[in-house]
């Protein structure tokens, strides 16, 4: 009897270890866009323990000799799963990881790549901002998600940096990295794959989820969107939300302009910051995810922007 129980315990222990092993080895769900282009969709919600902070999209593009990963995820654990999924599904080693924006959901998995010696590539302004602020973000994120979820996570500052747009040929596949100035963040990069006419827009495009203006240069963002919309495009992979058609680019511009017009009218009409944030509804976008959270924040950012204009910057 005792012997039987002991065997049972060992069995369940083995089973448990086995399951954990399977959990980390099982690939993340990916969306195959064809032509070796894949999206790893993330949540369109805020970072929370429920989604392990896995917010926003990552992706990968498979070349003849290697795979390029786009964004490294929200934690070391997430980064490893992105890396393993890219190699399992794509069948090629990952040769570089590109960071589209210095945002926690796109960079916190970088240690998983760095420990394999895979270079991290970013715009130089993005790399600078990662060095400046991401330790603070990591502390806050760890407080939110817990030590377990964030184990092994550290801030890795990309060392392969670019001053502007350029073409790369990593993995034997030509990709265009596009930088149209400070848009959604300093150091935005969008990745364009000419062979499939696919654009990984990063945080410059958000679809069905309110874009976040916290780090934005509003005019720069609108200019960048116009430039991206001129590309020959079959698919746009937004930073947040499912892959979409070209129209997703204009939608973001429309949101920014609509909110800007509304807030500017309130600010110039004498509404206080408090009043303006409360009154800045743009009903057209009220059904987008995170409207209740991000829209008031965006309205405040825009109000302060227009107010500062009055001092003639």
Partner 1 sequence: MNILRRRLITLIALALVLPSGGGALAQSADSDDPEASPMWQQVRNSLFQGRTITSPADDVLVLDAPTRAEDAAIVPISIRTRLAQSDSRYIRTLYLMIDNNPSPLGATFHFTPNSGRADIETRVRVDAYTHVRAIAEMSDGQLYMSTRFVKASGGCSAPPGKDPQAALSTLGRMRLRVEGEVIANRPALAQLMISHPNHSGLAMDQLTRHYTPARYVRKILVTYAGAPVLSADVDFSISENPNFRFYFQPGGKGELKAEVVDTEDQRFESALAVAPVKAAN
114-133: contacts with partner 1 (CB under 8 A): 129, 131-133
Task: Report the run of H or E that residue 151 belongs to, with start and end.
Answer: none
Length of the chain in terms of residues written = 313
Task: Count interface residues toward partner 1 (CB under 8 A).
Answer: 35
How far is 46 from 56, CA to CA, in rounded Å?
9
CB-CB contact of 285 with 255 (8 Å): yes
Distances from the Cα of 205 to the Cα of 110, 208, 228, 311, angstroms: 22, 10, 10, 31
| By CB under 8 A, residue 272 contacts partner 1 | yes
What does each C-alpha distance from 61 to 55, 114, 179 come to in angstroms?
20, 19, 19
Using CB under 8 A, pick the residue from 89, 258, 273, 279 that binds partner 1: 273
Asked if 310 touches partner 1 (CB under 8 A), the answer is yes
CA atoms within 13 A on the CB side of 15: 6
Q: Which of 154, 176, 246, 297 binds partner 1 (CB under 8 A)?
A: 297
**Backbone torsion region of residue 109, taken as left when φ is above 0, otherwise alpha when ψ lies between -120 and 50, otherwise beta:** alpha
Nearer to partner 1, 61 or 138 (CB): 138
SS3 48: coil
Q: Among the candidate windows 7-15, 237-245, 254-262, 301-309, which touches partner 1 by CB under 8 A?
A: 301-309
Q: Residue 143 interacts with partner 1 (CB under 8 A)? A: yes
Q: Report if residue 296 touches partner 1, rule: CB under 8 A.
A: yes
The correct pick among 24, 91, 308, 309 for binding partner 1 (CB under 8 A) is 308
Q: Are 110 and 75 in contact (CB under 8 A)?
A: no
Instruction: State which of residues 77, 80, 209, 301 lies at the interface with partner 1 (CB under 8 A).
Output: 301
Stretch that binds partner 1, among 147-155, 196-204, 251-259, 298-306 (CB under 8 A): 298-306
CB of 111 to partner 1, least distance (A): 18
Which residues inside 178-217 make contact with partner 1, applying CB under 8 A? 182, 185-186, 214-215, 217
140 vs 159, which CB is nearer to partner 1? 140
Closest CB to partner 1 among residues 85, 104? 104
**For partner 1, which is the closer residue by CB, 133 or 176?**
133
Our finding on whether 274 is near partner 1 (CB under 8 A) is yes
Cα–Cα dist 150/265, whole Å: 43
Give min distance, CB of 106 to partner 1, in A. Answer: 12
Of 20, 26, 140, 226, the one binding partner 1 by CB under 8 A: 140
Going across the sheet that includes 160-162, the strands are 31-34, 37-40, 58-62, 67-70, 94-98, 120-123, 160-162
Nearest to 187 by CA among 154, 161, 223: 161
Q: Does 44 bind partner 1 (CB under 8 A)?
A: no
CA distances from 14 to 11, 20, 24, 288, 296 (A): 5, 10, 16, 45, 50
239 close to 206: Cβ distance less than 8 angstroms: yes
| Interaction pattern, residues 95-114, with partner 1; x per rule: CB under 8 A | --------xx----------
Binding interface with partner 1 (CB under 8 A): 103-104, 129, 131-134, 136-137, 139-140, 143-144, 182, 185-186, 214-215, 217, 270, 272-274, 277, 296-297, 300-301, 304, 307-308, 310-313
């Amino acid at each position: 009897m005792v012997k039987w129980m002991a065997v049972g315990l060992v069995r369940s222990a083995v089973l448990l270890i086995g399951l954990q092993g399977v959990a980390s080895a099982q690939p993340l769900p990916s969306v195959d866009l064809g032509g070796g282009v894949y999206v790893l969709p993330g949540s369109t919600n805020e970072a929370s323990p429920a989604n392990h902070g896995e917010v926003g999209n990552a992706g990968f593009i498979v070349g003849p000799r290697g795979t390029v990963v786009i964004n490294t995820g929200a934690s070391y654990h997430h980064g490893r799963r992105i890396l393993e999924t890219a190699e399992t599904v794509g069948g090629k080693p990952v040769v570089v990881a590109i960071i589209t924006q210095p945002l926690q959901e796109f960079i916190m998995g970088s240690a998983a790549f760095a420990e394999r010696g895979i270079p991290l590539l970013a715009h130089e302004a993005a790399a600078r901002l990662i060095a400046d602020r991401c330790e603070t973000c990591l502390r806050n994120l760890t407080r939110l998600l817990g030590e377990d979820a964030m184990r092994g996570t550290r801030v890795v500052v990309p060392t392969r940096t670019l001053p502007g747009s350029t073409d790369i040929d990593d993995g034997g596949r030509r990709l265009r990295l596009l930088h149209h100035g400070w848009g959604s963040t300093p150091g935005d990069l969008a990745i364009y794959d000419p062979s499939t006419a696919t654009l990984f827009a990063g945080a410059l495009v958000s679809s069905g989820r309110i874009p976040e203006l916290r780090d934005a240069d509003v005019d720069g963002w609108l200019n960048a969107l116009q430039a991206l919309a001129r590309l020959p495009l079959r698919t746009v992979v937004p930073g947040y939300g499912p892959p979409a058609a070209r129209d997703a680019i204009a939608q973001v511009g429309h949101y920014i302009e609509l909110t800007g017009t509304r807030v500017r009218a309130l600010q110039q009409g004498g509404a206080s910051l408090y009043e303006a944030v409360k009154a800045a509804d743009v009903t057209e976008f009220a059904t987008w995810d995170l409207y209740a959270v991000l829209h008031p924040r965006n309205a405040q950012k825009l109000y302060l922007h227009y107010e500062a204009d009055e001092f003639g910057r």
